[in-house]
Amino acid sequence: MKMEKKKIVAVGMSGGVDSTAAALMLKKKGYEVIGLTMKIWDDNPLVTGNKSGCYGPGEAKDIEAAKKACKILGIPHYAIDLKDEYKKYVLNYFKDEYQKGRTPNPCIACNTKIKFGFLIEKALKSGIRFDYFATGHYARLSQNKEKDLFILKAGLDKSKDQSYFLHRLKQSQLRRVLFPLGGKRKNDIKQFARENGLEEFANKPESQNFVECDSYSMLLPKGQSGYIVDHNGKVLGEHKGIVNYTLGQRKNLNIGGLPEPYYVLKIDTRRNAIIAGPKSLAYSEVVKVKNINWIIPVEEIKAKKIKAKIRYGADLAEAVFIEKSKTKAKLKFIRPQFAITPGQAIVFYNKDIVLGGGTIEK
């Protein structure tokens, strides 16, 4: 009788406990596992600071940690150079959006274009063979075989759910992806690592920043100074460039003598002005969305009432579709939401199923 050949899984390894535990889980399930690590740091002298992050000089230590994890697990490790791709699709996008008065989400761009895109593509082109790609994301995946549809779901551990960052993945990408941690809780993953001799990875601090900077402004051009005005047009002070501000921001406005705290309400790129006002004016109930990626085909979404997340740290909020098409949508929230920010991603959910998501237009 002919033995079935083991399926090979490439795991995106960061040197942290999640990706290391994911690789070990898959190995225990009988897969042949290999580790892949992205090389994105390009020696940018502007990136300095004490924060840990994905992009920065600390990358060398992370690669060594990933290599060490693979050695302990007894699996091969490869570092894939993606500096050019990262600069083009993440860093340049990040700069362009801020200069246009919008607030980007570089982690979504990185996941979509780099981690689940060029990393897989370049690894395969270099001769590294694998059947599936896996990561340590806290998200779940199931399949509707009747409709040949892969369904992305929120992770079981709601405090760690990362499905928001994955909403732009296509069916062609989801078809070959595995999320071993989706049905687990973070504490259980750390315990699993400790029980399997991976104590140092379980105790390693988490890196949750995009870049190793004390301020993202280090990556951005200074910009031209201009006025901060209130919602009636009265000049309140000066700003040092619109790239330093985002909707809902309260800090660093440096405007005093007001009856209550003021927040950024709008960024007017045409006038190079920051419009500020009381918090009550920063709430909106209607949002327009563009560049939508539907994981569930739009024609199959019958329910009007859904839940939406307007930023990663936001709670899910009930909303109804006023209109929707393959690329655009308009939603109305049941309760007005604070600082709905152009450029940020909004993701739609039906219970724990990710319907899709897009970019907030206004």
Give me the CATH code for the 8-202 domain, please.
Answer: 3.40.50.620
Q: Which CATH superfamily is domain 283-360 in?
A: Translation factors (2.40.30.10)
Q: What is the pLDDT of residues 231-284, one digit of tens each?
A: 888 999 898 888 888 898 888 888 877 888 999 999 998 899 999 999 999 999
Concerning whether 213 is annotated as a catalytic residue, the answer is yes
Whether residue 3 is predicted with pLDDT greater than 50 in this model: the reply is no
Q: Phi and psi for 129 in degrees, rounded to 5?
A: -100, 135
Q: What is the dihedral of CA 182, 316, 102, 362, to 10 degrees?
A: 140
- In 3D space, the residue among 328, 361, 301, 356 whose CA is nearest the CA of residue 168 turns out to be 356
- Alpha-carbon distance 43 to 93, whole Å? 19
266 contacts 314 by C-beta, under 8 angstroms = no
Domain limits, the chain: 8-202, 221-281, 283-360
Q: What is the pLDDT of residues 40-93, one digit of tens each?
A: 888 877 676 666 778 787 888 889 999 999 999 999 999 999 999 999 999 999
- Alpha-carbon distance 85 to 13, whole Å? 18
Q: Phi and psi for 27 in degrees, rounded to 5?
A: -65, -40
The one catalytic residue among 54, 70, 107, 213: 213
Distance set, CA 209 to CA 65, 185, 206 (Å): 18, 21, 9
Q: What is the pLDDT of residues 164-180, one digit of tens each?
A: 999 999 999 999 999 99
pLDDT > 70: what percent of the chain? Answer: 96
Give the tokens for residue 225.
């100074």
3-state secondary structure (DSSP) of residue 170: coil
Concerning whether 54 is annotated as a catalytic residue, the answer is no
| pLDDT band, residue 350 (cuts 50/70/90) | very high
**β-bridge mates for residue 108, sequence order:** none
* Residue carrying the six token digits 């501000």: 245
Secondary structure letter of residue 216 according to DSSP: G
> Which residue stretches of 259-324 are H helix?
none
Distance set, CA 59 to CA 136, 207, 350 (Å): 18, 11, 37
Question: Do you know the residue count of the chain?
Answer: 362
Average pLDDT score over residue span 202-231:
78
pTM of the model: 0.89
Q: Specify the CATH number for 221-281; select among 2.30.30.280, 2.40.40.20, 2.70.150.10, 3.40.50.11540.
A: 2.30.30.280
The residue type at 148: D
Give the tokens for residue 136.
């340590």
Secondary structure letter of residue 288 according to DSSP: E
